Structures are given as structure tokens and as C-alpha cells.
Amino acid sequence: MSAAILFWAVTIAQVALAIAMALALIRIIRGPRAQDRVLGLDTLYCNAMLLMLVFGIRTSNSLYFEVSLIIAALGFVATVALAKFLMRGEVIE
């Protein structure tokens, strides 16, 4: 019984995250300003990280947890760099 509940919960979570990634991609493409595109990119990498975590739960493989940690670290650095570029016009002072 609990295995079936876990299976359906993980499946629903993966579908919801895939829909959220599609909506974030639409925000990146249609964003009228650069800030909207950066926000869409930030949402996209967060959803990709969560999708890797859910996939790791589904397969019971710890490799996906490490991949999600790398995605989170690189996404954070990219978001900070893009925000600094939009604020000042340069990344490295």
C-alpha cells in the first residue's frame, strides 16, 4: 500500500515539476525585460534541481542527489552573476 502511494506521489511530483519547467521556459522566451528572463532562469534551475531529487527518490540512487547539489550551486552562482550584471553592467570589478 505505501509503495503505491509513494509511486503515485513521485509521479505527480514529476509531472508538476515538468509543467513548472515548461512555464519557466515560456517566461524566459516571452519575458519583456531582462529581469523577467533572469527570474525565469532561476525558476528553471530550481525546478531542474527538484526534478533530479524526485528522480533520485524514484530510483533510490544517491548519484542524483549529488547532481542536484551541483545544479543548485551552479544556478546560484549564475543568478548572482546575472543580477550583478543587470545592476552594474559588469560582473568583475
pLDDT in tens, 5-44: 999 999 999 999 999 999 999 999 998 998 899 999 999 9
The predicted model gives 81-90 an average pLDDT of 84
Instruction: Write out pLDDT tens, residues 48-85.
Output: 999 999 999 999 999 999 999 999 999 999 988 888 88
User: Are 34 and 83 contacting, i.e. CB atoms less than 8 angstroms apart?
Assistant: no
Alpha-carbon gap, residue 93 to 78, rounded angstroms = 16
Fold of 2-88: Helix Hairpins (1.10.287)
Alpha-carbon gap, residue 92 to 29, rounded angstroms = 27
Q: What's the full length of the chain, in residues?
A: 93
Q: Find cell 533520485 and name the residue.
A: 56
* pTM as predicted: 0.86
Q: What local confidence, expressed as pLDDT, does residue 3 receive? A: 87
Domain ranges in the chain?
Answer: 2-88
